[in-house]
A and B are shown apart, each in its own frame.
Chain A
Amino acid sequence: MSTLITWLRDPNPASRLQSKLGQSYLSWLRLRRNPLAMIGLTISLALVLMAVFAPLLAPHDPIAQELSRRLLPPGTAGNWLGTDDFGRDILSRIIFGSRITLYIVLLVILTAPVVGLIIGTIAGYFGGWTDEILMRITDIFLAFPKLILALALVAVLGPGMENAVLAIALTSWPPYARVARAETLTVRNSDYIAAVKLQGAGAARVIWGHVMPMCLPSVIIRVTLDMAGVILTAAGLGFLGLGVQPPLPEWGLMISAGRKFLFEQWWVATMPGLAIFIVSLGFNLLGDGLRDVLDPRSTSK
């Protein structure tokens, strides 16, 4: 372990890999000093572990109904967070629900930032009319009310998880395009780009191999900060019955199911909401901390 750390802290790295890992190690040390960010990291990791090991962690089947045990309050032996109106264990449903939440988040962050990255780098690299047209389209999408557009899209496409993901992705790429374009503008006239061009690289190669990697850090920070927003939008769509369909244990859907007996059996709606809140807070804390560490502009006091 200590040799690894010495290797990482070596001021004269022998390879590019060592230098990169050393940099990441220093960022990690800075991140570790921020307690809120560490809480965020813990929550995010816990979510991933919960999703991966859901079948092992959950005490009950999330979908199996047991009508003799319906609407039991939290603290009941065997059902620590209580049961819903079909007698399903709320804790198990929350644990399995983490899979759906993570799946939606992954699908969105694998599409929207990529689209934004491509549009932003192309606009920034070519400039002129290409830039003008692409950025005008971006601005139009940016000026839209996001949630309402997503609602209208899902209304047309039909409710369901994939369509909800599509609607969220379609409304969340513009900020990434803006970020990527701004980064591209700062590197496009630098010497190393000129050198690559002189070696005969085409536009696609320059953008893909030499511009995009430079945009990645800013885009990644933005992704972490946006993840909570994606979770909240997906839950909102689920709550309105436009996202994931029953009997799947999606958290937003569970809240809307618990709404009917909010005043008598408060836990049915409260527990999944707490899960959404904790997970979003985790991503937000992590994103906030990451930005402080990775973004040189925000560290200056």
Chain B
Amino acid sequence: MEPASLPAEPSRLARLLRQLGATAFSLCITFIGLLAVTFVISRVVPIDPVTSILGNRASQAQIDDAREALGLNEPMWKQFGIYLGDTLRGDLGTSIRTREPVLQEVGQRFPATLELATLATLLGVLIGLPAGVIAATRPGSPYDQAVRLIGLMGYSMPVFWLGLIGLLLFYGTLGWVGGPGRLDAVYQMSYDFEVTQYTGMIMLDTALNGRWDMFANAFSHIILPAGILAYISMAYISRMTRSFMMNELGQEYITTARVKGMPERRVVWVHALKNVMVPLITVIALSYAYLLEGAVLTETIFAWPGLGSYITDALQVADMPAVLGGTVVVGVAYIGLNMLSDLLYRLVDPRART
């Protein structure tokens, strides 16, 4: 605790601003790095971009014109500059398969992935956090061992296989959940025409429109893929929570609180947890970012029309602009979440501000 009379305030603000600047700088560097990698990938691809647009029967003059128009005659660094500029303006190229702008297609797909990853992270935190805290209060107990084993199993499970088994069991055999897709076919029609689509996230839209029957149907479809992704994120969150809590419970202020006669429940769930929340924010943001990416395989299994299945569908037909455009979008979201968690960490934890 610093005495308030010390002139620390302006310098702290300056420090924060400097850190914001540094974060923004490294954000830019990382972003350019991401684009450099996708650029290199797009240039070594064995598919000639000119042929893929004009087809095989174009005359030499047409090919030359197209090369000029695409900037393929410029030196490499200039081509990269053009690519960088295009991407910053939101031009991710045109899908070879559909002839639609990639950004527009990705925009249509993104809400589905966001809905899935968000619900999965929520579930993962709701289960993983208390599980980790309780495990830390009883290290070595059977409960602790069980949490550890369940977590390790989550790390070891191929997510696409878990999805198939889930479908087999809960959809095929028990019939408890909706099958692949986001809605039953009947509801899909009325969602497209009767519901005002504010966000593209079906559960949110149907709730806002008061269509609770459709909400229930959407829930029955999302719960299985979200539950499977939540298991993966729960494994990570419970493990990290346990290790942070173990560390925190060994601190002296905890002993002080106990000596003062504070109820154990309050010591653990209020005092220790409050301090653990700071590094946990980072963990949760990371697992969220990971789920945005981890959704790729899950979406393929559940025919979930999100970003992941967009990329894998495009891969099957060698639609490279779509693949790379999708990669850039996921990469940007991933980098953004990383940076955001870093920033939050510094804002919330005074110790990290030095």
Write the residues of chain A forming the contact surface with B, with a CB cutoff of 8 angstroms: 36, 136-137, 139-141, 143-149, 151-153, 155-156, 158, 228, 232, 235-236, 239-242, 252, 255, 259, 262-263, 266, 269-270, 273, 276-277, 280-281, 283-285, 288, 301
In angstroms, how far is the closest chain A Cβ from the Cβ of B176?
15
A145 with B41: in contact, given A235-B158, A262-B164 (CB under 8 Å)? no
Contacting pair A240 B300 (CB below 8 A): yes
In angstroms, how far is the closest chain A Cβ from the Cβ of B105?
16
Contacting pair A148 B30 (CB below 8 A): no
Contacting pair B318 A269 (CB below 8 A): no
Contacting pair A273 B292 (CB below 8 A): no
A284–B236 Cα distance when bound, in Å, is 13
Q: Can you spell out 8 A-B residue pairs with CB atoms less than 8 angstroms apart?
A: A140-B29, A147-B297, A149-B327, A156-B45, A241-B316, A262-B168, A281-B153, A284-B152
A152 with B297: in contact, given A139-B26, A143-B338 (CB under 8 Å)? no
Contacting pair A140 B297 (CB below 8 A): no
Contacting pair A284 B44 (CB below 8 A): no
Residues of A within 8 A of B148 (CB): 36, 288
In angstroms, how far is the closest chain A Cβ from the Cβ of B245?
13
A141–B331 Cα distance when bound, in Å, is 11
Contacting pair B297 A156 (CB below 8 A): no
What's the tally of chain B residues with a CB closer than 8 Å to chain A? 52
Among B155, B293, B326, B338, which residue has its beta carbon within 8 angstroms of that of A280? B155
Q: Mark B35-61, 1 if CB is under 8 A from A, else 0.
A: 001100100111000000000000000
Residues of B within 8 A of A136 (CB): 26, 29
Contacting pair B331 A144 (CB below 8 A): yes
Contacting pair B168 A228 (CB below 8 A): no
Nearest 8 pairs between A and B by C-beta? A273-B161, A140-B33, A280-B156, A145-B293, A281-B156, A263-B172, A145-B334, A284-B152
Closest to B44 in A: A156
A36–B142 Cα distance when bound, in Å, is 13
A141–B293 Cα distance when bound, in Å, is 15
In angstroms, how far is the closest chain A Cβ from the Cβ of B336?
10
Contacting pair B294 A147 (CB below 8 A): yes
In angstroms, how far is the closest chain A Cβ from the Cβ of B225?
15
Contacting pair B315 A155 (CB below 8 A): yes
Q: B84 an interface residue at 8 Å Cβ cutoff?
A: no
A240 with B315: in contact, given A228-B156, A266-B168 (CB under 8 Å)? yes
Contacting pair A148 B41 (CB below 8 A): no
A266–B318 Cα distance when bound, in Å, is 31
A89–B45 Cα distance when bound, in Å, is 38
In angstroms, how far is the closest chain A Cβ from the Cβ of B75?
22
Q: B165 an interface residue at 8 Å Cβ cutoff?
A: yes
Residues of B within 8 A of A147 (CB): 293-294, 296-297
Residues of B within 8 A of A285 (CB): 152
Residues of B within 8 A of A277 (CB): 153, 156-158, 161
Q: B324 an interface residue at 8 Å Cβ cutoff?
A: yes
A255–B297 Cα distance when bound, in Å, is 13
Interface centre among B148, B152, B338 (most CB of A within 10 A): B152
Contacting pair B164 A288 (CB below 8 A): no
Contacting pair B161 A269 (CB below 8 A): yes
